[in-house]
Amino acid sequence: MTSPVRERLVEAASELFYAQGLRAVSADKIIERVGTTKVTFYRHFRTKDDLVVTYLQKRAAIEREGIGAAIAHAGNDPETAFRLISEGIGAVACSPGFRGCPFINAAAEYADPDSPVRRIVAEHRAWYRTTFEQLIAPLGLPDRAAVADELMLLRDGAMVAGYLGDPAAAGGAFLRACQAVLRR
């Protein structure tokens, strides 16, 4: 069972990390937000990076649940699944406070590919690629791995475009690009 203080630390960190950036938020800022002590913080997280990893694991679980629900709702029909995924991207990109993909943001802040943070980013991206590859398997495409890589690139682009460009267009552009890749 997770302690209520640990849950509050993770929740506060999640809000602050996403809104302000991983490096910009100190452990002290999280401790202050929760109203606890350094001793309590470090009892739950040996380092701030351990908390960053926990935050990313939580975000990964949320994304995987959403993508899984879209695929299940689509009855494993790739076109319907990508339509639902694009609607989800569009909805997220239009939500207040949207700052792009937390995994792309984390990778930008943690340059060392061997850091625990970058390993979580890599694991989540590998999950996405595998999921896309499995989703398109019924289409009988000749090089599913390459197509999954292209779909991953499109997903990344939609997340960045949703933050830097027109959030309302991000999901639609993702869907149109996915359809073009899958039809060629």
Answer for the pair 169, 161: CB distance below 8 angstroms, yes or no. Answer: yes
Q: Write the pLDDT tens digit of every residue in 109-138.
A: 999 999 999 999 999 999 999 999 999 999
Q: Write the pLDDT tens digit of every residue in 30-54.
A: 999 999 999 999 999 999 999 999 9
The whole-model pTM stands at 0.93
Q: Within a 13 Å sphere around the CA of 107, how many CA atoms are in the beta-carbon half?
A: 13
What would be the CATH architecture of the domain defined by 57-183?
Orthogonal Bundle (1.10)
Residue ranges, comma separated, of all CATH 1.10.357.10 domains in the chain are 57-183
Residue ranges, comma separated, of all CATH 1.10.10.60 domains in the chain are 1-46
Q: Which CATH number fits domain 1-46: 1.10.10.60, 3.40.50.300, 3.40.50.970, 3.20.20.70?
A: 1.10.10.60
Q: Residue 1 pLDDT > 70, yes or no?
A: no
**In sequence order, what are the residues at sequence separation of 6 or more whose Cβ sits closer than 8 angstroms to the Cβ of residue 27?**
38, 41, 48, 51
Helix (H, G, I), strand (E, B) or coil at 11: helix
pLDDT value for 70 = 96
In whole angstroms, what is the distance from residue 127 CA to residue 47 CA?
26
State how far the alpha carbon of 68 is from the alpha carbons of 75, 144, 150, 175, in Å: 11, 19, 20, 17
Q: What is the DSSP letter of 111?
A: -
Answer for the pair 133, 47: CB distance below 8 angstroms, yes or no. Answer: no
Q: Write the pLDDT tens digit of every residue in 72-122.
A: 999 979 999 999 999 999 999 999 999 999 999 999 999 999 999 999 999
Answer for the pair 37, 31: CB distance below 8 angstroms, yes or no. Answer: yes
